[in-house]
Amino acid sequence: MTDAPISLFDMAAQQALVRADMDRRIAAVLSSGRFINGPEVAELEGRLAAFAGCAHAVGVSSGTDALQIAMMAEGVGRGDAVFLPAFTYTATAEVPLVLGATPVFVDVDAGTFNLSIPDLEARIAAVKAEGRLRPRAVVGVDLFGLPADWPAIEAICAREGMFALDDAAQAFGAALGGKRLGRWGGAAALSFYPTKTLGAYGDGGALLTDSAERAELYRSLRTHGEGGHRYEVLRTGMNGRLDTLQAAILLCKMDLFDQELRDRARVAALYRARLAGRVAMQRVEAGQDSAWGLFTLRLEGPEQRARVQDALKAAGIPSAIYYPKPLHHQPAYRAAHGEGRAPLPVSEALAHQVLSLPMHPYLTEAQVHRVCDAVLAAA
């Protein structure tokens, strides 16, 4: 039916496909009583690593905790500069501050919305010239599911002796040059927030890496810095474990994941075909396979965006703005950003231009056309 309701994210359709298996797996966890570090966690870690093609996966309690554990393992702290995009979610920036480091905001590319490599080079040079902070890490964000320029980020980090951390919270399933995220950088942080490409029914996350040493550190840090047994504390850690129940739910969803990625790509291709030449969209470059966590337009400005969003709402179609304010304009980060730093014009412009449309694997062709009709009528 062409008038069927359209959801921004549709978890109900997905749940209907796996509910019986999910009920079985949840019942097994309840019967076992192994709610922390049950066998389902290890099973999920194996499947995540196999899917990404990396050596190790470590389940943790959230995408934010994944970022924090990865930085703790590298010893990131006071006096360190962590370079990250200004146009992303707050978690990417709050973790360095929690650890005593300083986030250094970098502008993004106007087409891909991902970290601008020229601006990253300029910010690193400025920090080195100032001499107050030590360039320590780069966090690349694969925004809306689109891989960042990882070959360039890795090369810069190798040259400068910095840690390259992939914030792949919105992009599990994406690939660059045929190499899936999870194998780029020193580690990749995943989020299993319910609306992600692979979403739990609560908080959850994971770290992917090819380094056995890092994986061992992550397992220790997620469990209070434990060593060989519970009461051997080798280092300062945190309580960052993935619940067994969430692991069980994610295992059910992993059975659908390959097909869901194909369906996300199908939906994105329909959108792009209908909107090409009429409305600007996030640019996908050669070799980039987006996971399409979100499908995002770049409109001319706030007036056009409001007009399109109002038209979608009138047609019963949800939309969302990710993100209405760049991080360096947020009150929590103004002091860290400091006065007199070079402006971040693309991040500031995007905050007034972006609009995300419904994106999930269960959108029909007719529904995509309904969305596009409303967009084009108002744009």
What CATH number did the domain enclosing 245 receive?
3.40.640.10
Residue 179 and residue 118 share a domain = yes
Write the DSSP string, 261-322: HHHHHHHHHHHHHHHTTTSEE----TTEE---S-EEEE-SSHHHHHHHHHHHHHTT---B-S
> For residue 266, what are the domain limits?
256-378
Q: Is the pLDDT of residue 306 over 60?
A: yes
Q: Is the pLDDT of residue 310 over 50?
A: yes
The number of angstroms, rounded, from the C-alpha of 330 to the middle of its chain's C-alpha atoms is 20
Angle at 92 between CA 172 and CA 48, to 5 degrees: 25
What pLDDT, on the 0 to 100 scale, is given for residue 340? 66
Residue 185 and residue 223 share a domain = yes
User: What is the torsional sign of CA 274, 279, 283, 289?
Assistant: negative
**Residue that terminates a domain, selected from 232, 252, 272:** 252
Residue 123 and residue 151 share a domain = yes
pLDDT range class, residue 1, cuts 50, 70, 90:
very low
Is the Cβ–Cβ distance between 236 and 194 less than 8 Å?
no
**Residue that terminates a domain, selected from 193, 225, 252:** 252
For residue 43, give the nearest of 261, 256, 242, 259 by alpha carbon. 242
E strands in 61-128? 80-85, 102-106
Q: Is the pLDDT of residue 374 over 90?
A: yes
Task: Give the global pTM.
Answer: 0.96
Residue 193 and residue 55 share a domain = yes
Residue 287 and residue 185 share a domain = no
What pLDDT, on the 0 to 100 scale, is given for residue 2? 56
Does residue 6 fall inside a structural domain? no
pLDDT range class, residue 231, cuts 50, 70, 90:
confident
Q: What are φ and ψ of residue 311, in 5° steps? A: -65, -40
**How do 163-167 and 187-191 pair as beta strands?**
parallel
Range in 1-10, 90-99, 206-215, 217-226 with the lowest mean pLDDT:
1-10
Average pLDDT, the chain: 96
Write out pLDDT tens, residues 12-26. 999 999 999 999 999
Residue range 332-342: mean pLDDT, rounded: 81
Residue range 96-124: mean pLDDT, rounded: 97
Percent of the chain at pLDDT above 90?
A: 94
Residue range 124-144: mean pLDDT, rounded: 97
Is the Cβ–Cβ distance between 46 and 208 less than 8 Å?
no
Residue 303 and residue 341 share a domain = yes
Residue 289 and residue 232 share a domain = no
Number of domains forming the structure of the chain = 2
Write out pLDDT tens, residues 243-300. 999 999 999 999 999 999 999 999 999 999 999 999 999 999 999 999 999 999 999 9
Residue 307 and residue 222 share a domain = no
Indicate which CATH number applies to the domain containing 357.
Answer: 3.90.1150.10
Q: How far is CA 343 from CA 102, 111, 319, 328, 331, in A?
A: 17, 18, 29, 10, 17
Residue 273 and residue 217 share a domain = no
Q: Is the pLDDT of residue 36 over 90?
A: yes
Residue 161 and residue 35 share a domain = yes
